[in-house]
């Protein structure tokens, strides 16, 4: 079994807080992770109608039924359970790591935990596998386009299963819409929502234009805003906000849209093979999406915030990613396998504007080697994880 890097972060916070919440997209491995780390805890899921109704009808008795603690999956489906946990934790001064809550809706789970369990709980995110996790688990990561096309959801790497990515993603979307979306939108809009997800895929790696997406889908911009929130809360997409340091320039205000997993993105773009991806006009955007996703994964895996933005002024000058870690990093993402020094021009311009010695520059590219050229780090794709998590 492939070991998750987030194990250490989970053990760290579970040694301090009586309640730990873990959220992430469906099929990211949340249940497997917590059952592996806490094998002696009872596991229940509120996807089970009987368990859900029992917890709703008498949340206090339900919590009392697990004196040694419990793992509750999809905990956000019973909001009443959070206040019952608060009362239990306060009355018994519960030991750290007693209650582990998981869910696939970050908004609902985090809001309930914040409202009811403030100061008593810690919140972690678990995304699909990272390159580092696959490599450490003995998976060949020799050709990045194979991984970019296939995606990194854990079931696709289960030796006991033999999923074909195209079939798996079709089933995944059907399940996602049935379980995570239908309660938020009118049933008559389901087919339109599917079209909306496909149009969002065309915009991955680009500045968000709700008006453009609205025209493509045929619904209003406010509806698009609401639907984007659903995709973000359920970890289908991530919105990268613009950097607020204007350096004397007028900046754009729109975020950039990225899919969390490039396998799902390729499926939605109707890219049928690695070879199709290599020739597709979206190749650069897909690679950029992959790199941003890897940075997010490697930060969340160590229990840190992504702290990623991007820089773009009204004149069109842009740096793909500004990472606010122990140092500030200006990062450009390239689909090339070569260390082309021309790729660093925007970074050098940004560093000149910034005019401080704390900000560093890096190129994330698809080559094998990581080297420094003219004070700019050229980071090969196999080292993206190490680079993102060491600062």
337 inside domain: yes
Per-residue pLDDT of the chain (391 residues; tens, 9 = 90+): 799 999 999 999 999 999 999 999 999 999 999 999 999 999 999 999 999 999 999 999 999 999 999 999 999 999 999 999 999 999 888 899 999 999 887 777 878 888 888 888 999 999 999 999 999 999 988 889 999 999 999 999 998 999 999 999 999 999 999 888 888 888 899 999 999 999 999 999 999 999 999 999 999 999 999 999 999 999 999 999 999 877 777 789 999 999 999 999 999 999 999 999 999 999 999 999 999 999 999 999 999 999 999 999 988 999 999 999 988 999 999 999 989 888 899 999 999 988 888 899 999 999 999 999 999 999 999 999 888 777 6
Residue 197 · residue 291 · CB < 8 Å: no
The DSSP line for 83-113 is HHHHHHHHHHTPPTT-EEEEES-HHHHHHHH
Looking at the fold, whether 258 and 367 belong to one and the same domain comes out as: yes
CB atoms within 10 A of CB 388: 28
* Overall domain count for the chain: 2
Let me know whether 164 and 207 are in one domain.
Answer: yes
Domain ends where: 102, 125, 148?
125
Let me know if residue 1 belongs to a domain: no
**Does 165 lie in the same domain as 97?**
no
**Main-chain phi, psi angles of 367, to 5 degrees:** -80, 175
- Residues whose CB is less than 8 angstroms from the CB of residue 227 and which lie 6 or more positions away in sequence, other chains included: 185, 193, 196
Q: How far apart are CA 193 and CA 29, in angstroms?
A: 26
pTM of the model: 0.94
User: Of the candidates 109, 152, 39, which has an alpha carbon nearest to the alpha carbon of residue 385?
Assistant: 152
Q: In Å, how far from its chain's centre is CA 239? A: 10
Same domain, 191 and 282: yes
> Pick from 75, 109, 125: which residue ends a domain?
125
243 in the same domain as 286:
yes
Q: Enumerate the β-bridge partners of residue 238.
A: 258
Residues 142 and 63 in one domain: no
User: Of 100, 125, 150, at which residue does a domain stop?
Assistant: 125
- Same domain membership, residue 121 and residue 148: no
Query: Are 279 and 373 members of one domain?
Result: yes
**How far apart are alpha carbons 391 and 376 in whole angstroms?**
16
Only one residue has tokens 């938020």, namely 184
CATH number for the domain spanning 99: value is 3.40.50.300
d(CA 365, CA 387): 13
Are 103 and 152 in a shared domain? no
User: Would 366 be classed as within a structural domain?
Assistant: yes
* DSSP state letters, 141-196: -S-HHHHHHH---GGGG-TT----HHHHHHHHHHHHIIIIITTTS-GGGHHHHHHH
Domain residues for the domain of 23 are: 6-125
337 and 365 Cβ atoms separated by less than 8 Å: yes
Q: Are residues 175 and 108 in the same domain?
A: no
Q: For residue 101, what pLDDT is reported? A: 96
């Amino acid at each position: 079994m492939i070991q998750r890097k987030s194990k250490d972060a989970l053990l760290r916070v579970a040694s301090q807080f009586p309640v730990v919440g873990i959220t992430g997209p469906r099929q990211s491995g949340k249940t497997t992770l917590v059952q592996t780390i806490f094998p002696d805890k009872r596991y229940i899921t509120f996807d089970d109608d009987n368990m859900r109704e029992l917890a709703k009808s008498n949340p206090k008795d339900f919590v009392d039924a697990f004196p040694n603690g419990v793992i509750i999956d999809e905990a956000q489906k019973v909001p009443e359970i959070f206040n019952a946990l608060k009362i239990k934790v306060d009355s018994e001064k519960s030991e750290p790591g007693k209650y582990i809550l998981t869910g696939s809706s970050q908004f609902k789970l985090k809001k309930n935990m914040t409202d009811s369990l403030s100061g008593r709980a810690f919140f972690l995110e678990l995304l699909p596998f990272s390159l580092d996790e696959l490599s450490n688990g003995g998976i060949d990561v020799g050709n990045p386009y194979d991984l970019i096309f296939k995606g990194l959801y854990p079931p696709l790497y289960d030796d006991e299963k033999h999923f074909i990515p195209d079939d798996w993603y079709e089933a995944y979307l059907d399940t996602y819409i049935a379980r995570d979306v239908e309660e938020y939108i009118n049933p008559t809009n389901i087919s339109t929502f599917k079209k909306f997800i496909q149009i969002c895929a065309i915009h991955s790696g680009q500045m968000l234009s709700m008006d453009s997406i609205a025209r493509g889908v045929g619904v209003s911009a406010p509806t698009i805003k609401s639907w984007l929130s659903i995709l973000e809360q359920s970890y289908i997409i991530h919105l990268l906000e613009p950097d607020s340091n204007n350096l004397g320039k007028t900046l754009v205000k729109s975020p950039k849209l990225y899919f969390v997993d490039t396998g799902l993105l390729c499926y939605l773009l109707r890219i049928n093979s690695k070879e199709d991806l290599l020739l597709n006009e979206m190749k650069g955007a897909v690679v950029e999406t992959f790199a941003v996703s890897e940075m997010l994964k490697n930060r969340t895996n160590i229990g840190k915030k992504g702290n990623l933005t991007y820089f773009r002024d009204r004149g069109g000058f842009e740096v793909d990613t500004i990472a606010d870690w122990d140092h500030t990093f200006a990062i450009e993402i390239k689909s090339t396998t070569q260390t082309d020094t021309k790729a660093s021009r925007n970074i050098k311009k940004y560093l000149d504007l910034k005019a401080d010695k704390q900000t560093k520059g890096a190129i994330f590219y698809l080559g094998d080697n990581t080297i420094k050229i003219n004070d700019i780090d050229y980071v090969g794709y196999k080292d993206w994880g190490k680079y993102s998590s060491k600062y």
